[in-house]
Amino acid sequence: MMGQILAVITTDKERIAGGAPIFVETSKERMQQTAFTLEKILDAMVHEIREDTLIIVRHK
């Protein structure tokens, strides 16, 4: 089953590139708040890729 990456949230903008919208936050707490908000708005799930990077994925 494939999912679609809807957004990337990070505190390290130098390590991220790609086609999904990227949200750069100043702290881990802000990163988590943004991810939680986007998760609800987009009806999707948050997954931690690294300590400084989360992705929002819609699973089909």
Q: What is the DSSP string of 5-44?
A: EEEEEES-GGG--SSS-EEE-SSHHHHHHHHHHHHHHHT-
pLDDT on residue 1: 58
| Whether the predicted model's global pTM rises above the 0.75 cut | yes
Amino acid 28: pLDDT: 96
- pLDDT tens digits, residue range 7-30? 999 999 998 888 899 999 999 999
CA 35 centroid distance within chain: 6
pLDDT computed for residue 3 by the predictor: 86
Domain ranges (residues) in the chain? 3-59
pLDDT on residue 7:
96
pLDDT tens for 36-60 read: 999 999 999 999 999 999 999 998 7
